[in-house]
Structure 1
């Protein structure tokens, strides 16, 4: 659900990574301090407006993100409908989709180098007690960036499986996906070591 960096430039690309992260944290905290459906819907509407202003590429990304959330939305709707609390379900759904889409916007408009520097700056005070700031500053952005890569590989293997077999035992994809992820991790580790490691 987290989108890769978007090559389509927007004004948000020029904003400092720290300011965008601070805004995301403030929005996340604010959404959990209210259960007013009107306020939550207004926050979601603002999200849609921002994506629309940023351009068609961003808007398509938001729609894809929302599509991936449909199973969760359906489950929450069914559960809260059965328990007689539709308002509670609406609060959860609005919070979830707003935060996921805003988080996706953050990763789309923030370069990997900016993320690394941001994490390192935030963790700098812990360096005095031996905390591996360099490793953390590299691990978190890499994890974020590899999520869409892993999702794309899963879809590719799923399509290959459906083209070759009528069986629905998709659990068999687990092992090749695990091996592919380990192979990618090994390649990235080799590349990092070749460039001097996390603390050159």
Structure 2
């Protein structure tokens, strides 16, 4: 499966995973507590600058991973324009894009094995109910499957477009769901072949 970690080495790659995840949790919470569009615009500008500190190649890779957000941005923007709530719409969009971009920055600069170790430490109090390793592995698999499913959806849309003049819209949901279930079965078989999640 694909990984979100960027091959372009940046200063953020050398920071500990736990610190980055904690900072992400604090900043994301602050974004949802702030209501001023000007403060949110400043947060958005700061996020863009954060990407630029990694260089042009890193910024372009981050932008490519954020590109699937554009339909949500378009729908939310048009809705608030129609409702004449431009200020509220701008605040929602700035908050959403900044939060997702910051999460993407953390995943691009953190190895999955390091994230897995953090999740495992955090899940240790739940060990009498659920083995921490399994819970951490579940988080890791969710992160791994995001780019896989986005890529699969793109391929399904391309296949539909090549065979039909109509827009695919909701019709791609069934094959995408079946593909996700098939991938889940294969991952489960691979885990069983290696002795399970531990």
Q: TM-score higher than 0.5 here? A: yes
Contact 1:80/1:88 (8 A) holds in 2? yes
**What displacement does 1:166 show?**
2.5
Residue by residue, what CA displacement relative to the aligned partner does 1:65-88 show, whole Å, maximum 9, x if unpaired? 453223222222233233332211
Structure 2: which 5+ residue stretches go unaligned? Answer: none
Cα deviation, 1:94-149, whole Å, max 9, x if unaligned, reads 11010000011111111111111111111111113x12322211011111111111
- Contact 1:65-1:101 at 8 Å conserved across structures: no
Unpaired runs of at least 5, structure 1: none
Match status 1:141 vs 2:173: no
Q: Hey, what's the Cα distance between the residues in 2 that align with 1:119 and 1:194?
A: 24
1:49 matched residue in structure 2: 49
Cα distance, 1:21 vs. partner?
A: 0.5
Does residue 59 of structure 2 align to residue 25 of structure 1? no
Paired position in structure 2 for 1:85 = 85
Paired residue total: 196
Deviation at 1:169, TM superposition (A): 4.7
**1:72 matched residue in structure 2:** 72
**Structure 2: distance between partners of 1:69 and 1:169:** 18
Deviation for aligned residue 1:157: 2.0
When residues 125 and 104 of structure 1 are mapped into structure 2, their CA distance, relative to the original with a 3 A threshold, is same
Shift, 1:172, TM fit: 4.2
CA RMSD of aligned residues (A): 1.9
SS at match of 1:9: coil
Q: Give the structure 2 partner of residue 95 of structure 1.
A: 95
Which residue of structure 2 aligns with residue 131 of structure 1? Answer: 130
> 2:116 is paired with a residue of what secondary structure?
helix
